[in-house]
Structure formats: structure tokens, C-alpha cells
Amino acid sequence: MISDSRTSILPNPPSQTPPSLTADQLQARVLHRDTECFVIDKPAGLAVHKAGRITDHLELYLPHLAGLDGAGPDEEPPKLAHRLDRDTAGCLILGRTPWALKRFGQMFAAGHVEKTYWAVAEGIPEADSGVIDLPLLKRIEPGASRSSWTILPDPAGQPAVTDYRVLGTGADGRSWLELRPRTGRTHQIRVHCAAIGCPLVGEPFYGPERRPPGNLHLLARSVAFRMAFEFAPVSAVAPAPEHMRNALSACGWQVE
């Protein structure tokens, strides 16, 4: 049985305290802001919302972003326009208005938000680039709670497609991957990489070994979108997080 980032079923899982964010710390993570949205650099290890045993999460700190740009103290805090796994770092879009949240919902559903991820994988794909086209099925075992589930490649699942490109390799048999999901299934990149024999470094559930959460080498590197013709295009890029830097460097990445 595999649990998502909300609930761990590892034997005697270690207690983890996601990082709390002060106003200054969260505001320093803003990659883009305008009247309709923010793009922030979410830290790895911080869940985006409350679920299960998680009590410390990003939504608690979103009021720190209200009132920026002279919007006034009565501005509503921004809200999540989409989600990232707890252990995934990088670009996360927040809507500042009801219209923006509705619009982002439409854009994500239509595939009009371009998302690029970086990952470090245990293994090197056979081809330097390619497409992983494997439907994914969310399965809850009979008698298990709804918070414990697994994602499996399955012809009966929902369509899931990921483009990948190898950006570099290391002497340790690892690869630095650029991944562009065409669909947005739960744990899509993680399951797809494992399915081609390249589970992500630090993978707690889909690799050959069960590892404690908190060290997943997956970064939502960039997002790009245009909310409407009257709006300028938006592009935001997140820096490589500290816990991925050594592994990236070993695969040829040069420190920015």
C-alpha cells in the first residue's frame, strides 16, 4: 500500500515538522506578483493545505501575502490555484481574485499553463528524450482508509502523458531530467519515472526502497501562462532547492 504525501504508512514514521514561514520569509519566496495572482517558490516539506495528521501547512501563511502592492489591509489572502505534493519544491500559483481562481481552473483543465519540472532520478533513461504515455489509476485497497491509496499504471486509469528530456548524467548512474506533464494526474511524474526504471532520488513510495519522506528530488522549475489577451504573458522560474544542489551538480548542473 502506498500513501500520498498526506499520510505516511511507513513503519514507525519519523515525526516531521514542516518549516513555518514568517511574513518576510514567505514574501521573499514570491517569484511573480500582479493584481490577479502570485507565483511563489514553495519549500519542499511543506504541505499546501491541511489533511490527515498535517497541521502545519502553506494555507496558514497566505495571509502574509494579503495587502501587498498597496491593496489594503482588508484584501482577502490569495488562494491555491492548484497543488503540489508536500515534498515537491518550486513554482506554485495563487489566485488573488475569484475571477483569477476560476480562470486558472479553466486554464489548467485545458492545458494552458505550461509546467516544467526538474528531477534527479536513480537511473538513466534509454533514450535522451521521449514521451511516457501510461494511464494512471488511483486504487484504495479494500478495508483501507480513503487517505491511504496507491497510484498505479493501469490501462483502466486516466490518460497521463509526460514528455521528458535528459539534461545531464552522473558517474553514479543518476540522471538530471526535465519533465513536462501534458496532463495533471496525482503523482504523475513520480509514477511515470519509476515506470521507466528511473525512480526519483528520495522517493518514499515509488522507488525500490521505502524511504522516509522529506528528501524528494523534484522541483516545479517553471510555469508560464497568459490569463487573457489583455494580460501580459507570465513566466516564473524557481531556483534549485538546497537539498537537490549536490545531486544536480553531479549530473552537470552549474550553480546559478
| CB atoms inside a 10 Å sphere around CB 96 | 24
* Residue 74 pLDDT: 74
Q: What are the residues whose beta carbons fall under 8 Å from the beta carbon of 21, sequence distance 6 or more? A: 29, 43, 46, 58, 61, 64
| H runs (alpha helix) in 111-250 | 188-195, 242-250
- Annotated active-site positions, please? 85
Quick one: the chain helix, strand, coil %, rounded to 5?
20, 30, 50
Instruction: Compute the distance between CA of residue 221 and CA of residue 130 in angstroms, rounded to an integer.
Output: 19
Residue 249 has what DSSP assignment?
H
* Residue 159 pLDDT: 96
Residue pair 201/120 in contact (Cβ under 8 Å)? The answer is yes
* Residue 79 pLDDT: 96
Instruction: Compute the distance between CA of residue 54 and CA of residue 46 in angstroms, rounded to an integer.
Output: 9
* Residue 11 pLDDT: 36
* Residue 6 pLDDT: 35
Mean pLDDT by 10 residues, the chain (256 residues): 37 46 93 96 91 83 85 81 94 97 96 97 97 93 66 94 98 97 94 97 85 85 96 97 97 91
* Residue 50 pLDDT: 80
Instruction: Compute the distance between CA of residue 173 and CA of residue 168 in angstroms, rounded to an integer.
Output: 11
Q: Is 9 exposed, middle or buried (0-12, 13-18, 19+ CB in 10 A)?
A: middle
* Residue 71 pLDDT: 59
* Residue 147 pLDDT: 61
Q: How far apart are the first and last CA of the chain?
A: 39
Whole-structure pTM value: 0.87
Q: Using CA of residue 59, residue 65, residue 67, residue 69, what is the dihedral sign? A: negative
Closest CA to 247 of 206, 211, 219, 210: 219
